[in-house]
Chain A
Amino acid sequence: MRAEEQLKQSMQQMHLSTEAKNRILSDVLEKASEPKAAKRPFYCSAVFKSLSASAAVILAVILIVSGAAVFKDGLLSKTKSESDFDQAPIQQLSEESEQVAYVIPIRGEKSKGIIDFSPVTDNPNDTTIAANLGPGEKTETAKRSDGSEMYSFRIQDYPGLVLSKDANSESNSSDSAVSLMKLYGTLEEYLSGDYPSGKCYILSVSRSGLTYRVEIRLTEEPGLNIRTTVDLKDVPQEGTDYVVTLERDENEVSFRVIDISKKD
């Protein structure tokens, strides 16, 4: 018997058992019902029902008085932006997290940079905002690509991606900002078409000597969030498509970038 026929025969004898199916079904249903179980109103109403009428009146008076005190202290009088400010993802800049927004410095400018929100919003159009950086807290407001306000954020710390001029650099201050926003490359099939294709997003750029290290994320495959880095000799240009050639490790979800070049 040929190997492929043997494979078919063997594989077809492997089934999910009835027990396994029942276990899977039960677990899936349990997980699907978890958010509903977390709802609180029923719990609150049950507490109130268990109180006597007089106890309920006393509790209501306490709630009203304490609520008034809160208003008096101004705790609820913050503006919406201040409220958002407290929860802004940009505060996680220095942490390893999926919710990190990236700061891309402007060459020759230690005090200005661009905040890349694409990892936060997952929308490459929601990436551009110029910000003054540096020590101390500052408030900036990001805008979505349609002009609507996204949220205010606070810069607590500058992560140190400084593109300062150095002796090896061919550039000078007139070559302006390294505008890396909205860059996304097109991954093309490699040689036989045997390698990943689709769009990738450039997440961050740092500089090492004469090369730019670009972190890219492949987002075409559902459930995958693959990151890899690539070295560029040229300054990446805004709105330019790049052809990225990747080699995939056998049996691993990791990629080695073997070439990157501007698309003609």
Chain B
Amino acid sequence: MSLSRLQQEEHIRHILDTYGDLMYHMSLSIVGNASDAEDMVQDTLVTYVSEAPDFPDEAHEKQWLVKVVRNNSLMLLRKQKNRERILSEQAKVSVGKDADYGIMDVLRTLPEKYRTVLVLFYVEEYSVEEIAKVLKRSVSAVKMRLQRGRKMLSERYKENGQ
């Protein structure tokens, strides 16, 4: 795909406007801090510009972006040698003034596989089938993660006195 700089800029802006928050939420649920999540969105777009295949439709493009931002975020976690730094920065997540810090803290205590499914289902409103495609898991596996994740989230939320 050969685009002029202006076309490329418009295209990337369109991707950012359309899927930016989706990628950001996905990454935020994994890396736990806003700064790293923004970096992961950026890395994903750099990969998109340099390596993305021609997508047959927007659904495939969206799936690709979610998958790559998730993998980038997981790779970042893996590379982080100093886990303490992450934990301390998790407290610094920039949230809206009305946002509930408690629920985000609880979310971060869940295993990544549950966080991802919960965010895609409840925040991004993906269907179970769509999540199964993105994560390359069976529908039944996604349903099980949703069920376990929801239960875990609810129990820990209550334990925290919310």
A residues lining the B interface (CB < 8 Å): 2-16, 20-21, 23-25, 27-29, 31-33, 189, 192-194, 197-198, 220-224, 248, 250-254
A11 partner, pick from B8, B9, B17, B119, beta carbons under 8 A: B119
For residue B100, CB closer than 8 A to chain A, the reply is yes
> Is B78 within 8 A of A4, CB to CB?
no
- Given contacts A14-B95, A25-B12, whether A189 and B138 have CB atoms under 8 Å apart is yes
> Is B78 within 8 A of A13, CB to CB?
no
CB distance from B121 to the nearest CB of A (A): 8
CB contacts (< 8 Å) of B141 on chain A: these are 189, 192-194
B51, closest chain A residue (CB): A222
- Given contacts A27-B42, A29-B12, A192-B141, whether A10 and B95 have CB atoms under 8 Å apart is yes
B137, closest chain A residue (CB): A193
B140 partner, pick from A9, A16, A192, beta carbons under 8 A: A192
B96 partner, pick from A14, A23, A221, A250, beta carbons under 8 A: A14
Within 8 A of A (CB), among B8-45: 8-9, 12-13, 16-17, 20-21, 24-25, 28-29, 34, 38, 41-42, 45
Within 8 A of A (CB), among B73-128: 74-75, 77-78, 93-96, 98-100, 103-104, 106-107, 111-113, 118-119, 122-123
What's the tally of chain B residues with a CB closer than 8 Å to chain A? Answer: 62
A-B contact sample (8 more), CB < 8 A, given A4-B154, A21-B20: A3-B106, A7-B107, A8-B122, A21-B17, A29-B9, A29-B12, A193-B144, A197-B137
Q: Tally A-B pairs: CB < 8 A.
A: 151
For residue B67, CB closer than 8 A to chain A, the reply is yes
> Is B75 within 8 A of A16, CB to CB?
no
CB contacts (< 8 Å) of B45 on chain A: these are 24, 28
B residues lining the A interface (CB < 8 Å): 5, 8-9, 12-13, 16-17, 20-21, 24-25, 28-29, 34, 38, 41-42, 45-47, 49-50, 64, 67-68, 71-72, 74-75, 77-78, 93-96, 98-100, 103-104, 106-107, 111-113, 118-119, 122-123, 136-138, 140-141, 144-145, 150, 153-154, 157-158, 162
> Is A24 within 8 A of B95, CB to CB?
no
CB distance from A256 to the nearest CB of B (A): 15
> Is B67 within 8 A of A221, CB to CB?
yes
- What separation, in Å, do the CA atoms of A251 and B68 have in the docked complex? 17
> Mind listing 21 A-B residue pairs with CB under 8 Å?
A3-B103, A5-B122, A6-B100, A14-B28, A14-B96, A21-B16, A21-B17, A24-B16, A27-B46, A28-B45, A29-B12, A189-B141, A193-B137, A193-B140, A194-B113, A197-B136, A198-B136, A223-B67, A223-B72, A224-B74, A248-B113
- What separation, in Å, do the CA atoms of A254 and B158 have in the docked complex? 31
A33, closest chain B residue (CB): B5
- Given contacts A221-B67, A224-B74, whether A11 and B42 have CB atoms under 8 Å apart is no
